[in-house]
Structure 1
Amino acid sequence: MDRHHHAYAHTGRAFTDGERLKGLAPSTYPPFMIQEWLTRPASNIAETFTDVDLAAKWLRAEMEAHPPMDVQSFGIDARMRHVVETLGQERGADVVWGYYCGKQMVSRAMISCAPGASRVPCPEGRK
């Protein structure tokens, strides 16, 4: 089993649950449930990583490019400690961020994908 992480990104306006249910949100908008990320088309994947450190570097770069409004009280370094811990877990775990940068809603997700260990197949077709 080739465990890896898929990165997903959305930056834009927020949508209400009603708008989402009516299909008004773009396909890159975060799903209601984390496991639904892997059911999205492969074209929604921003990057795929087999190395945890590279996945963490991507998340850091994304947060630096789109800093959260509360970055002064909860810095990027503190957030990144949690990211490396989480992605490095033996069974794999997800990191999902949703926050505001100015008037834009920012969503970044690093979703663990382990073909064969899940009922959801890898969106890229990896075995």
Structure 2
Amino acid sequence: MTTTPHHHAYLWLGHGDVLVKPGDAQRRPTHPEFRSAQVMPLECADWLLKPAGRIAATFHEPTDGADWYAEQIAHHAALFTGTYAPPAARQETVRALGAGEDRVGGWWVTGNRFLSISVVACSPHRIRPAYVCPQRQ
């Protein structure tokens, strides 16, 4: 089955303790609980190994993916703590997604939590071309 290149969007907001060793084992695809673990994976392409139900949105147009990415950052902006560096300009995000790249951001937010916003290329992924695109049931 041939699928046109597109991007899947993922969002994770959770307690930061699960991101650091020794508690990060479930973030690795080799861990038996990786697929069911609610925590974000260590590598952004590994989102594609999670169940399709984790997909927040799917985009066939780079502009739509860039808009979603910016909207999620704006929606969560009140949670940011410390020094906040704004993400790349929208046109850079559109260019990156149009080239089949991922757009990934992660920020520490209030309550010792971490926010991960990812738009991950699929069909194929540039770094992990063997990864099969998750399909909704």
Q: What TM-score range do you get, normalising by the shorter chain?
A: 0.7 to 0.9
Partner of 2:130: 119
Inter-CA distance 123–18: structure 2 relative to 1 (3 Å threshold): same
Counterpart among 30, 37, 51 of residue 47 in structure 2 = 37
- Give 1:28 deviation, angstroms: 3.6
Q: Structure 1: how far apart are the matches of 2:125 and 2:97?
A: 19
TM-score, normalised relative to structure 1: 0.79
Secondary structure at 1:36's aligned position in 2? helix
TM-score, normalised relative to structure 2: 0.74
Partner of 1:100: 108
Structure 2 segments unaligned to the other structure (5+ residues): 27-32
Percent identity, aligned pairs only, is: 26
Higher relative contact order, structure no. (Cα contacts within 8 Å, ≥ 6 residues apart): 1
Counterpart among 6, 9, 28 of residue 7 in structure 1 = 9
Coordinate RMSD, CA, aligned? 2.6
Secondary structure at 1:109's aligned position in 2? strand
More off after superposition, 62-71 vs 34-43: 62-71
Structure 1 segments unaligned to the other structure (5+ residues): none
Residue 109 of structure 2 is aligned to residue 109 of structure 1: no
Give the number of equivalent residue pairs: 119
- Give 1:116 deviation, angstroms: 9.5
- Give 1:79 deviation, angstroms: 4.3
Secondary structure at 2:23's aligned position in 1? helix
Partner of 1:18: 22
